[in-house]
Amino acid sequence: MSKDRIVVVGGYGHVGATICKNLGNAYPGRVYAAGRSLEKAEAFSEKQMGRCCRLSSIFTSR
């Protein structure tokens, strides 16, 4: 099974961040951290050096 995007809800929290980092190592550029705050999700993604993508890029890539 192949998926283009993996969205982790709560991805910038303590547990979600660990999940995003591990998935990002296995599937770089395909993992997105999501949550109630777009700003926090974007800030988290910026710190991941390409392992976790900015959530806003899902909406602008079409």
Encode pLDDT of 5-22 as tens digits: 999 999 999 999 999 999
Q: Is residue 1 part of a domain?
A: no
What is the count of structural domains for the chain?
1
Structural domain containing residue 20: 6-60
- Give first-to-last CA distance, the chain, whole Å: 22
Q: Nearest-CA neighbor of 55 among 10, 19, 23, 2?
A: 10
Q: Is residue 28 part of a domain?
A: yes
Q: What is the pTM of this model?
A: 0.82
Q: Is residue 19 part of a domain?
A: yes
User: What pLDDT sits at residue 41?
Assistant: 93
Share of the chain above pLDDT 70, in %: 94
